[in-house]
Amino acid sequence: MKLPIENRKYSNEITEDDDGERVNIAGWVHEKRDLGGVFFLIVRDREGFAQVTLHKKTIGKELFEQAKKVPRESVVAITGTVKGEQKAPNGYELIPERIEILSEASHVLPLDITGKVGAELDTRLDARFMDVRTERTKHIFIIRSQVLKAIRDFLDARGFIEINTPKIVSAATEGGTALFPITYFEREAFLNQSPQLYKQMLIASGLDSVFEIAPIFRAEEHDTTKHLNEASSVDVEVAFVSDKEVMKLLEELIASVYSKVALYPGISKLNLQLEVPKVPFRRITYDEAIELILEAGEQIEWGEDLSTPAEHILGKTIGELYFITDWPRAIKPFYAQPTEGKDTCDAFDLMHPRLELASGSQRVHSYELLKENIESKGLSAESFEFYLNAFRYGMPPHAGWGLGVERLLMSMLEIDNVREVVLFPRDRRRLVP
């Protein structure tokens, strides 16, 4: 089999300069249109659509019948001559001289790629490889790629060093709940909930500004539209700064990502007008949040974490991205720096009106205080000795945060279910594909 795609062009690479030229394209048969004496194949590739036009009288019977018989979603490679045509996608059509069927698709498809017939989310996830062929889903994942690139570019421009930390660990990052235990040869181990301990250890190494974009694992039993058991997190840790400075870094990163995504032409496929948020974001204390929640009639005690209804009340009241600061020590991790003389700590959450996006804090950098905090949470300091050792030999003051990639995408693109922004989501019910 000879593939005529050596000098293949994407559909958007063919322009008026190619009029009259011979080109090669390859892709999937998106639609077929039979007008009697004229037959159209609409071929789809990553960048768009190309119209292949076959006139029965001039094209030859064999080629004409071959085009008519090829099933939709079959993979084809086509050689033909470009001809200007205003009604065709991109303003041109291709008059074929050869059509090669590289892979013939089954006649019955698991879902409709054209979008004319809708499909339930579970159906789409079961056939994700096909779902990504649809315009809407394709653009979601191109945007996801752009978001990750924008984050890396933003942090790289500010001198951050990208790191990779282990995902198989011996101790919990945030307590014993929500852990995935695994058998690690003769020992028990866990899938990591967060790179928190390791990125702090690297601050002691002298790499004073680090970040990681990687999976995290939480054995949460929630089965909601915003929870996943395997998610992607952007984690940042910076030495010689306060929580206020890393909050500023976070809001500037968010605004930068929005501005990059807003330039992407495919955003229109999501029927979305993306507005870049203005910085600085509003800041309210935990105490102020409690007051707003109580004023709205929702019951909550000081020291409780915020429920989903409470978050919705705040989101509706504030109506934009905002920080909640000065959280009670009891509901934040052991590594959050306590506020002197208070029951609060220097921790913050970044909130979208719909849900929490990120959390962070000034970190404890004193060995004695950190050990005390670990034990106060009912944990064994001995289990964290590998981590605590980094604080014995010169740990600078530092702060950082973790940002959920999927939640950022979900809120930015106004998508209702977090599973839509993950190629192969993992939740309580889904382990394949």
Q: Of the residues 50, 69, 103, which one is the last residue of a structural domain?
A: 103
Beta-carbon-side half-sphere exposure of residue 71 (alpha carbons within 13 Å): 10
- Tokens at residue 41, please? 């194949």
Q: Tell me, what's the pLDDT at 223?
A: 83
The reply to whether 299 falls in a domain is: no
The residue segments making up the domain with residue 25 are 11-103
The reply to whether 294 falls in a domain is: no
Q: Tell me, what's the pLDDT at 171?
A: 72
The reply to whether 5 falls in a domain is: no
Contacts of 327 (CB under 8 A, 6+ apart): 286, 336, 344, 345, 347, 348, 349
Both 163 and 91 in one domain: the answer is no
Between residues 290 and 15, the one the model is more confident about: 290
Query: Does pTM top 0.85 for this prediction?
Result: yes
The reply to whether 335 falls in a domain is: yes
The number of folded domains in the chain is 2
User: Which of 325, 359, 324 has its CA nearest to residue 342?
Assistant: 325
Q: Which of the 8 DSSP states describes residue 391?
A: G
Residue 177 predicted with pLDDT over 80: no
Residue 69 and residue 41 in contact, taking contact as beta carbons nearer than 8 Å: no
Q: Tell me, what's the pLDDT at 173?
A: 62
The reply to whether 185 falls in a domain is: yes
Residue 326 predicted with pLDDT over 60: yes
Contacts of 291 (CB under 8 A, 6+ apart): none
Both 196 and 64 in one domain: the answer is no
Residue 264 predicted with pLDDT over 90: yes
Q: Which of the 8 DSSP states describes residue 420?
A: G
Both 174 and 70 in one domain: the answer is no
Residue 174 predicted with pLDDT over 80: no
- Tokens at residue 324, please? 């909640």
Q: Tell me, what's the pLDDT at 176?
A: 55
Q: Tell me, what's the pLDDT at 175?
A: 57
Cα Rg of the chain, angstroms: 27
Return the minimum-mean-pLDDT range out of 153-157, 181-185, 278-282, 313-317.
Answer: 181-185
Identify the CATH number of the domain in which residue 191 sits: 3.30.930.10
Both 94 and 50 in one domain: the answer is yes
Both 328 and 407 in one domain: the answer is yes
The reply to whether 248 falls in a domain is: yes
Both 59 and 132 in one domain: the answer is no
Report in angstroms the alpha-carbon separations of 146 from 86, 133, 202, 333, 348. 31, 18, 28, 32, 27
pLDDT band at 178 (very low <50, low <70, confident <90, very high): confident
pLDDT in tens, 352-389: 999 999 999 999 999 999 999 999 999 899 989 999 99
Both 227 and 168 in one domain: the answer is yes
